[in-house]
Structures are given as C-alpha cells and as structure tokens.
Amino acid sequence: MRTIYVDKDIPRALVVKALRPVWPGVAFSAISPSHFAEIPEPPLPGPRWVRVKNHLCGVCASDVSLLFVEADPDVSPVALPGYQRIYLGHETVGEVVEVGPGVTRVRRGDRVVMDTRFQGATCLSQEIEPICPHCAAQNYTRCENASAGVGPRGVGGGFSDSYTAHETEIYPVPERLSAEQAMMIEPLSTGLHAALKRTPAPTQKALVVGCGIVGLCVLQAVRAVSPRCHLTAVARHAHQAEAAKRLGADEIIRGEDVYAATARITGAKLYTGLFGNRTLLGGYDVVYDSIGSAATIQDSLRWARAGGAVVMVGFELSRQKVDLNPIWHQELDLTGIYAHGCESWQGGAMRTYDAVIDLLGRGALTVDGLVTHRFALGEWRKAIDTTLDKSTGAIKVMFDHSRG
C-alpha cells in the first residue's frame, strides 16, 4: 500500500521548522518526519473493522499544515497523547472492499466517505461503554474519551491506496451523488456546521473572510440556510472572487481596504487612533473567519458590530498574539467549530453529513467549478505545490486514485 504519513518525531519536526524559512522544500527531504512510502497491507485488526479502497481525495489545508510541521509544541491539542503516526487525507470517497465478521453498518461494494476516522478516536470506535454525552449526541469531535487509547487504530488515509477503519468511522453515501460530490461532503459539512453555529437573520449582514475552499464552502452554506441575508466575502485572488460571486456573495471585497469597505457596506463608523490603530463602531452581524491567523482574528473582532459574533472556522496550530478587547468592549461572541457533528435541522436533529447530502440533492449546495486540479498519488509533491500556489487558479486540488 502506498501512503503518505507524518511521524511524531520531535527532533525531525524541530529541524524542519527551523529550516523551512530558508529551505522551503525541507518537508519533502529525507530529514523530514513526512514520508511517501510503500508499506504492507495491514490485516483488519478486529471484527468490526473494514478496508476501503480510495477513489478520490481532496488536499486540505490541515493536511498541508501537518506535512510542513506547522504546529507549535505548546498549543492545547498537542498536549494530548495523540498518534505516533498520522496518515494524511480525509476528504476521501472510496469503496468498501473487505469487512470483518462483526460489521453491520456497511457491506462490500458500498461507497463511503471518511467520517470520524481523521478527527481521532471516539467512544464508538474504541467500543467504550457507556459512551460519553457528546458521542451520545453524535458530536464526536468533542468525545471525552478521544485520548483513552483503547484498542487498535486505522492504517492509511485518503493519501493512500486504501485504509482500514472501524465501521463507525466511515459513512455510506447515496449512489445519486457523483464521486466529486461525495468527496466534497466533508469540506461542505465544515461550511454548514459554521453557518449553523451562528446563522444570520434575513435582515442581517454577514462577512466571510477568505475565499479558499473553506471560505467558499462557508459562503454557500450561509446562502443556503439564510437566503435573504446580505453576504460579503473578502477574496485575495480573481478566481476566488469569481467563485464567491457565483456562489451567492452580494459583495466582494478585493483590492479595497476592508475597514473602509466595512464602513461603506454596513454604515459603521471607522476610527483611527495612535500608530494606525483602527477600529469600527458598527459592522457585520456575523463574521466567519475561514483563515484563523492572528491578523484575521484580530481584524474580524473589529469588523463585527457590538453584540455580534465571530466564528473561527480556519485555525493555525500556534500561539497567537491577538487583541481580544473587542470581546468585552463590544460584547462580542467569539466561537469556533471543528469539522462537523449533529445539527438542529428542519425541526429535528441530523448529522451534518446528512444535511449536506440533502442540500446537494436540492441544488442548494454545489461542487461545480470547485475541483480545479487532479493528480495521481505519485505526483503528491506537485499536488501540494499547486495547493499552495494560488496563481495556478487552484481551489480544490485532489488525488484521483484511478490515475495509478
């Protein structure tokens, strides 16, 4: 089995972090903890385990972050035990090719996407009883036993020919969806989870910061659940701005100062203090930050109106110096989301995946024009470079495993 993985090798990770500013390709070198390798196909480790052969897999910013060892060792998630080896790739659709004798959720030949497999272990995948309250509510990213270390872990990921998973870590998808639609269920679920975390009312104004694939998924999800709200997007590149307009943005901010544009669009008052320190009174009702850098968090808090909300969708695994004073001064809500879970949807509770499948079926969400580049797994370095280089017009880069 060919696979791309990152080992938890602290000395190698520190060397890569130190050398990357002067040697951008160090993550692809022999001294990196990241590897493209061929390993033996592992046996199923238990009766409720399955093997999935991959068809398509998208390249996510989190994969790139892990590949380039961007996490700082003193941030909260890194304090957890975690895995000694992380297999990259989670936006994947494939076919079940082997099932253990205790599997009841899927059969051989079923087409599935990865569900909780990439987020970490859950009560269900570790077969822990009784399950924690979060797993009982189907919000598996919040599992209180995620680091219990009970039982085996899967081998391989979406950046592999195949992978093994507990049957609860995958999700069957309907045949009516195309392969690209199925592959995009996971990133679209992130967008919908964010939109439902804080949904703007029909009379309100919302801002999406960043129009990479995450931002575009958030944007169209907000438009789907609040079709009459006013929706603005901040885009850096022309192809991103075009996609944002096509997916429902009322206004695009590109090449214009965002503070001035926010004042123009929302009627907010812009003030400038010492040393160029700027802030607004007034602004957007909801701001979705799809980047999550220190700069975008700080600006997002200043672009939101008093009593408004900022939703962190993107993130960086590093300590950040951010002015949090708007939270008390303007009584803002700063909240975040991680992947997907269970939503209040159409009067009941529904997994985010099912809500996305429903919206795709109704045409309220689309993947048209979002997948811009396809590569064979062996072209992984080129795929990563293309993902990083937005001058290529890249939005979603993916591996097509049928290419050999």
pLDDT digits (tens, 9 = 90+) for 105-136: 999 999 999 999 998 999 999 999 999 999 99
Is 397's pLDDT higher than 80? yes
Q: For residue 151, what are the β-bridge partners?
A: none
Mean pLDDT of 345-373: 96
The pLDDT assigned to 303 comes to 98
Backbone dihedral angles phi then psi of residue 146, each to the nearest 5 degrees: -60, -30
Asked whether residue 214 carries a pLDDT value surpassing 80, the answer given is: yes
Q: Provide CB contacts within 8 A for 220, sequence distance 6+.
A: 191, 247, 248, 365, 366
- Check pLDDT > 80 for residue 321: yes
Bridge pairing between strands 49-58 and 396-400: antiparallel
Least-confidence region, from 62-76, 238-252, 274-288, 296-310: 62-76
Asked if the model's pLDDT at residue 404 lies above 80, the reply is no
Q: What pLDDT score does 312 carry?
A: 98
For residues 277-296, give the mean pLDDT: 98
Write down the pLDDT at residue 82: 81
Q: How confident is residue 24, by pLDDT bands cut at 50, 70 and 90?
A: confident
Question: pLDDT at residue 5 above 80?
Answer: yes
Would you state the pLDDT for residue 138? 97
Question: What is the average per-residue pLDDT within 75-94?
Answer: 92
User: Across residues 161-180, what is the average pLDDT?
Assistant: 97
Domains and CATH numbers, the chain: 2-184+370-403 (3.90.180.10), 190-336 (3.40.50.720)
Residue 168 pLDDT level (bands cut at 50, 70, 90) = very high
- The percent of residues in the chain predicted with pLDDT above 90, rounded, is 93
- Mean pLDDT along residues 184-213: 98
pTM reported for the whole predicted model:
0.96
Average per-residue pLDDT for the chain? 96
Average pLDDT value for residue range 183-197 = 98
